[in-house]
Structure 1
């Protein structure tokens, strides 16, 4: 457990966010080149050029419609790409909304955050967009995830809060104990709680569906925890953007860190990526924005 393998990408790719596609390949945003990338488990890489240039690619997520959906922060659009690489873009109704986080909802729609527009957005598989304003001004919502309680959960980086939104648009907000912690990403854990990264506070946070928050400091200073995902071992895994490590936290708050082999790799996004026999694979895949690579780390021992 803990062995890291890396796949080199074209120079300048700058991979940021990563998701598992319906074809069981890894799909990722290339912040450096403005393309969507696809990699097989064997390391065969494909790139797809977007219709719009200078889009400011951010997050990508698999939708329940069998496509991948992504945010274009600078172009102010939501994008959709099929497994064949056909791209469709949907402009947002409000200029300067700056979509950033994105996640599939159990209602069959895709939900996203508007960093500057201060809204949570919802887009149907056919492209119909609805927006919900946040109660807190200039909250800057960032990461978003589907919770096991039926709501979507998101973090507000400037307001220093965690929020939830129902499928009907009912919003709740919960302040965090540590000031200016810069919550960045969020994911549902198998314990029924939501887990999130606090980049500036160098902590991992946990919030119950009722809003009770617990914070866990990281062992290494200035690690800048960024993305977070549920691992095949049942624990939460996260990237350390400044620490050049991956981290693992158990439900009771025990943290383990794994140093990456390439210096200054700036690990950014990560995802479970099981093949058909996924329980015997046990890998988490991640992006290395600093050295234009994808990496994978074994998280459970193979019998």
Structure 2
């Protein structure tokens, strides 16, 4: 892969903190502003609109829901937020101490989330019914979730050094990672029928098949601290290197190419692939990075 063309789009001040990002059902970019406690929309024309959520809500990850709205985790006040494409908000309260982080639409028409501080994976229906399924670990720090190709939900356990699978009935299987201290975070379902994830502690990418086979791919910079990952339609994945200040790509065969961001210490976090094949990453320092492969 040739080096991508990258431009940075100023968005907010660093005090707002762009963090999670996704493409909404309206074709616009939707993102969380973790420090400002807000959600933002960036239209195709670059128009920026923001909606305050709550001062201490700490919104983290945002995802399209099965109901045509955007759903996002509120890690600071134990809620799942919902916002329509015209900005109407509502929220679902979770059990106290949940600390939700990752969220994704599941195979059953509900939203599934990782309860970081409750050792649980949760499910919330579009009409607000909440169920939390306990995990067989203590202090595992469930971080991100993704719907797998096998009608199940997959998730990372950052401090338990494992990737897990949960059926829609709550049945759990955990897979320990080969590398000690790998500290997995982001996870996504690849177009190749496997799940891809990042190991922030080891500077590696991982791939796990539905039957539990794990392969790991070291990054050129083992201190890069990869954070988020998203699949592309061609079978590869794009990922952010929070510590390396880069956006990277891994091909289906494990070949890795990385691209330096123009601004030093931009703190790339969330990443998404737009319908036109270009890549957008949220930079916590207040901008978006737009990559044209």
Superimposed CA distance per residue, residues 263-292 of structure 1 (whole angstroms, 9 cap, x where no aligned partner): 111110001111xxxxxx3201110112x0
Match of 1:35 among 34, 38, 44: 38
Partner of 1:265: 266
Distance 1:236 1:10 in 2: 27
Does residue 294 (structure 1) correspond to residue 288 (structure 2)? The answer is yes
Partner of 1:58: 60
- Spell out the pairing of 1:1-303 with structure 2 (5 A cutoff): 2-11=4-13, 12-50=15-53, 52-92=54-94, 94-274=95-275, 281-290=276-285, 292-299=286-293
Distance 1:74 1:235 in 2: 33
User: What is the CA distance between 1:101 and its match in structure 2?
Assistant: 0.8
Do the aligned residues in 2 keep the contact of 1:241 with 1:268 (CA within 8 Å)?
yes
Distance 1:82 1:165 in 2: 28
Distance 1:90 1:62 in 2: 16
User: What is the CA distance between 1:251 and its match in structure 2?
Assistant: 1.3
Structure 2 runs not aligned, ≥5 long:
none
Distance 1:228 1:180 in 2: 19
User: What is the CA distance between 1:41 and its match in structure 2?
Assistant: 2.2
Do the aligned residues in 2 keep the contact of 1:231 with 1:272 (CA within 8 Å)?
yes
State the TM-score, normalizing by the size of structure 1.
0.93
Distance 1:5 1:176 in 2: 36
Structure 1 runs not aligned, ≥5 long:
275-280
Do the aligned residues in 1 keep the contact of 2:272 with 2:280 (CA within 8 Å)?
yes
Superimposed CA distance per residue, residues 21-79 of structure 1 (whole angstroms, 9 cap, x where no aligned partner): 110000000012111010012211100011x3211111111111101011111101111
User: What is the CA distance between 1:233 and its match in structure 2?
Assistant: 3.6
Do the aligned residues in 2 keep the contact of 1:231 with 1:284 (CA within 8 Å)?
no
User: What is the CA distance between 1:234 and its match in structure 2?
Assistant: 2.9
Distance 1:184 1:164 in 2: 15
Superimposed CA distance per residue, residues 203-236 of structure 1 (whole angstroms, 9 cap, x where no aligned partner): 0001111111111000013101000001244311
Do the aligned residues in 2 keep the contact of 1:232 with 1:283 (CA within 8 Å)?
no
Aligned residues: 290
Distance 1:108 1:87 in 2: 20
C-alpha RMSD over aligned residues: 1.1
Do the aligned residues in 1 keep the contact of 2:57 with 2:77 (CA within 8 Å)?
yes
User: What is the CA distance between 1:13 and its match in structure 2?
Assistant: 2.0
Do the aligned residues in 1 keep the contact of 2:73 with 2:101 (CA within 8 Å)?
yes
Distance 2:159 2:283 in 1: 26
State the TM-score, normalizing by the size of structure 2.
0.97
